[in-house]
A and B are shown apart, each in its own frame.
Chain A
């Protein structure tokens, strides 16, 4: 008896918590509203199933609990019922999977006009690189990393000379422009995660990974590392500023290129 009531309360409590608690996702700031929509669809389907199963159990416990003289029925199988349940489940699963795969297709298909930004992770900070006037990022290799060249750009690659390097500062992105984030790590796994963007991907040393998004809301957003990278993991924070194109251009003008940053050390080398 008690357990039947508790099972009902578990369902009511869970649903109430879902709708009434203050803990819910942060307002979205990217084009990935589809992901949120898919989560909502999934919440509805799974929520209904959860409530149905637990309430059914509660009913069974109430109705069929042992009393003197009771005897269970004997019914080994019911093929028709079993198949209907399996088919119904299949339909529910398909209703979640199909939109999921459609959105995943969008997620992995970068639009042709997306700008490129490189994000480099190392214990425990983020650096950023923009392609500069030529629109191309120069080559990199871990072998080139030095204190003066912390991101390991190939010193003689002409494409790299005008690359804009941002260290110890926030990344700025123009509002409404699709951007492909190229992800690179120098040491261990990291993961560049801005909760408002809903997207994330690991960075792996030796490999360049990516994801893309279109910022849809101005503001400053916190970036966190989402892949365990040893003791500083929880403190590996960064920021992304989304601003209108004109502000973005003004910010971009103030940043230094690879060549400018190298100038002092090259001058030194010449002397």
Chain B
């Protein structure tokens, strides 16, 4: 049973092949700009994603201002409001979270954690970032074109998305679709790279079942993304054709503002299927890397092996597979054939089982651990609370008939922000506090980190927990203003003001984090190579930050799984993966 931990003694044999000389940068430009080093690309991805994420944060402030104080900011009219929600949603889901987890953490951690010198296709990796960067630039250009960005909602549902009454119909929607296509092209280059590196680039001894769960999460999410993004891509192409040359893929006969348009016979609901065939796996594309990373944060900072490693791996894979057969739970009230409801409700609730297993194993890892309440651990604990909360409200929305009253209300907004907004972002923060020392050689300031954690965690919970109840009353989402609603008590206005005030505070608290990032770069305490006394390979590099090629002359050899913490008999409470078996140490259940 414990062969999960060690398997046969010593490294597993792998096919030998000659080391290929890396392309070493010859100038400042090839070192820092058009770099082929996965670590530099990772930082480029991360900084770009965080920068565009700050834009999305500012947009959310404006939306919250409008909801709490309608009309106070006179430049927010209905058109502007719908542009805000569209851009906020799209940026957060795709350009921030997907890019940061896969392009950022994926690039940094895959080669280092697997004992590789770099990604297997460094040049394609470089192209991947620059196409992503271009996609972000095109997206931002949407703010400056005539008519502004599209206000179709982040789901871009036709026919509305390309009709004249929708803001940004002239340029904005075309820009958005073009940017999405670029993103997908860029991602595909990166994604193939991550998958091939995981399958082919591991060092000696690093079997699949010895990989840290971070890598399992990123790997599974990448495979899913490679399968899911094409659906969005073809949807975007078809909608672009509908918009620009008048095809009718998604457009039936329409009377718009009293005039009959030339479209005939298309199906708006076809787009919804394509969108959610991408969109639901997308939720897990964001969640699975977070699951993986948080597993490693908890294990390292609780000084205890992750509980039920094999179950954790299979749960990740099961969630990944199941997430391709649940997409229409976003469409229970879309008007699709009602019989689908039975199937999709069943698959959706089944996915709760592997997800719950992951939660149990996280908290059972805490059980009888030696819990160090470092910032990464605090963020991991915050993640569990918000993820469990958001996951449980998913059981409302996944259960088809319960979804009927709640769908399209603020309950949905609260749910998905809790589960795929707050929860993964808490992991992002925890991960940055955790790996910043490896990236820079310096620790982030702990006091500032704890301040950042408390405001962000409690604030985010205070924003989104009460919001569920606004939806439960029946207030629809995507309302420019609530106006008078006979079924809503007047005190709801106060609740909206409360949420907005907290949102402003939580947003401002991110400045503490940014300050910490920059300040610690120079002034932070020097970290050494392995400040958390962690087992995984990235902490065992000869230099910190790791040099190009990561490992100096010799690649590491792996002898054990990633979770040998507090092994009975061992002198230290951790055994690095590349440490050979010692005589006399029990080595858990099997040597």
Choose among B167, B268, B356, B479 the residue that contacts A85 (Cβ–Cβ < 8 A).
B356
Chain A stretch 195-220: residues in CB contact (< 8 A) with chain B: 195-196, 198-207, 209
Q: Which residues of B contact A191 (CB under 8 A)?
A: 333, 408
Contact B165 A231, beta carbon cutoff 8 Å? yes
Q: A22-B491, A234-B483 are in contact. Are A78 and B308 (CB under 8 A)?
A: yes
Contact B335 A108, beta carbon cutoff 8 Å? no
Q: A123-B257, A142-B260 are in contact. Are A183 and B335 (CB under 8 A)?
A: yes
Chain A stretch 175-207: residues in CB contact (< 8 A) with chain B: 183, 186-189, 191, 193, 195-196, 198-207
A235 to B476, CA, bound (A): 12
Contact B253 A142, beta carbon cutoff 8 Å? yes
A83 to B349, CA, bound (A): 18
Contact A3 B405, beta carbon cutoff 8 Å? no
Q: Which residues of A contact B79 (CB under 8 A)?
A: 231
Question: Does A250 interact with chain B (Cβ within 8 Å)?
Answer: no
Contact B368 A64, beta carbon cutoff 8 Å? yes
Q: A145-B260, A188-B163 are in contact. Are A7 and B2 (CB under 8 A)?
A: no
Interface string of A97-133 (1 = CB under 8 A from B): 1001101110110000000000000110000000000
Question: Does B543 interact with chain A (Cβ within 8 Å)?
Answer: no
Residue of B nearest to A13 (CB): B465
A240 to chain B, nearest CB (A): 12
Residue of A nearest to B337 (CB): A108
A17 to B476, CA, bound (A): 21
Contact B476 A193, beta carbon cutoff 8 Å? yes
A183 to B334, CA, bound (A): 11
Contact A24 B395, beta carbon cutoff 8 Å? no
Q: Which residues of B contact A237 (CB under 8 A)?
A: 483
Q: A42-B395, A70-B370 are in contact. Are A228 and B157 (CB under 8 A)?
A: yes
A152 to B579, CA, bound (A): 77
- Residues of A whose CB lies within 8 Å of any CB of B are 3, 6-7, 10, 14, 17, 21-26, 32, 34-35, 38-39, 42, 45-46, 49-50, 53-54, 56-57, 60-61, 64-66, 70-79, 81-82, 85-86, 89-90, 93, 96-97, 100-101, 103-105, 107-108, 122-123, 141-143, 145, 147, 152, 183, 186-189, 191, 193, 195-196, 198-207, 209, 221-222, 224-235, 237
A122, A145, A147, A193 — most chain B CB neighbours (10 Å): A193
In the assembled complex, 9 residue pairs joining A and B whose CB atoms fall closer than 8 Å, in A order, are: A24-B469, A25-B473, A26-B487, A64-B367, A82-B311, A93-B350, A104-B341, A200-B405, A233-B480
Q: A22-B491, A189-B157, A234-B483 are in contact. Are A227 and B408 (CB under 8 A)?
A: yes
Choose among B160, B360, B373, B408 the residue that contacts A193 (Cβ–Cβ < 8 A).
B408
A199 to B573, CA, bound (A): 57
Residue of A nearest to B406 (CB): A39
A64 to B364, CA, bound (A): 12
B479 to chain A, nearest CB (A): 4
- Residues of B whose CB lies within 8 Å of any CB of A are 1-2, 4-5, 78-79, 82, 151-153, 157, 159-160, 163, 165-167, 252-258, 260, 265-269, 302-305, 307-311, 333-335, 338-339, 341-342, 345-346, 349-350, 352-353, 356-357, 359-361, 363-364, 366-373, 378, 381, 384-385, 388-389, 392-393, 395-396, 399-402, 404-405, 407-409, 458, 461, 465-466, 469-470, 472-474, 476, 478-483, 485-489, 491-492, 495, 563, 565-568, 573, 588-589
Q: Which residues of B contact A233 (CB under 8 A)?
A: 78, 82, 478-480
Contact B353 A86, beta carbon cutoff 8 Å? yes
Q: Which residues of B contact A207 (CB under 8 A)?
A: 252, 269, 335
Contact A189 B160, beta carbon cutoff 8 Å? yes
A91 to B563, CA, bound (A): 31
Q: A23-B495, A204-B268 are in contact. Are A77 and B310 (CB under 8 A)?
A: yes
A187 to B303, CA, bound (A): 59
Q: Which residues of B contact A50 (CB under 8 A)?
A: 388-389, 392
Q: A17-B465, A50-B389, A230-B160 are in contact. Are A76 and B370 (CB under 8 A)?
A: no
A34 to B400, CA, bound (A): 13
Contact B260 A85, beta carbon cutoff 8 Å? no
A27 to chain B, nearest CB (A): 9
- Closest 5 A/B residue pairs (Cβ): A206-B252, A195-B474, A209-B335, A108-B338, A72-B304
A61 to B486, CA, bound (A): 46
Contact B366 A234, beta carbon cutoff 8 Å? no
Contact A3 B402, beta carbon cutoff 8 Å? no
Given A77-B309, A97-B349, A123-B257, 6 more contacts at CB 8 Å? A23-B472, A53-B388, A189-B159, A204-B268, A222-B487, A233-B478
A183 to B304, CA, bound (A): 57
B32 to chain A, nearest CB (A): 39
Choose among B78, B305, B367 the residue that contacts A76 (Cβ–Cβ < 8 A).
B305
Contact B78 A200, beta carbon cutoff 8 Å? no
Choose among A38, A65, A76, A89 the residue that contacts B5 (Cβ–Cβ < 8 A).
A76
Contact A46 B260, beta carbon cutoff 8 Å? no
Contact B401 A107, beta carbon cutoff 8 Å? yes
Residue of A nearest to B474 (CB): A195
Contact B466 A202, beta carbon cutoff 8 Å? no
Contact A96 B395, beta carbon cutoff 8 Å? yes
Q: A38-B399, A96-B399 are in contact. Are A54 and B385 (CB under 8 A)?
A: yes
Contact A54 B388, beta carbon cutoff 8 Å? yes
B468 to chain A, nearest CB (A): 9
B414 to chain A, nearest CB (A): 12
Q: Which residues of B contact A46 (CB under 8 A)?
A: 392-393, 395-396
Contact B82 A230, beta carbon cutoff 8 Å? yes
A77 to B561, CA, bound (A): 13
Q: A21-B469, A64-B367 are in contact. Are A204 and B269 (CB under 8 A)?
A: yes
Q: Which residues of B contact A25 (CB under 8 A)?
A: 405, 472-474
A200 to B405, CA, bound (A): 7
A79 to B357, CA, bound (A): 12
Contact A222 B399, beta carbon cutoff 8 Å? no
Contact B359 A53, beta carbon cutoff 8 Å? yes
A67 to chain B, nearest CB (A): 8
Contact B334 A202, beta carbon cutoff 8 Å? yes
A22 to B466, CA, bound (A): 11
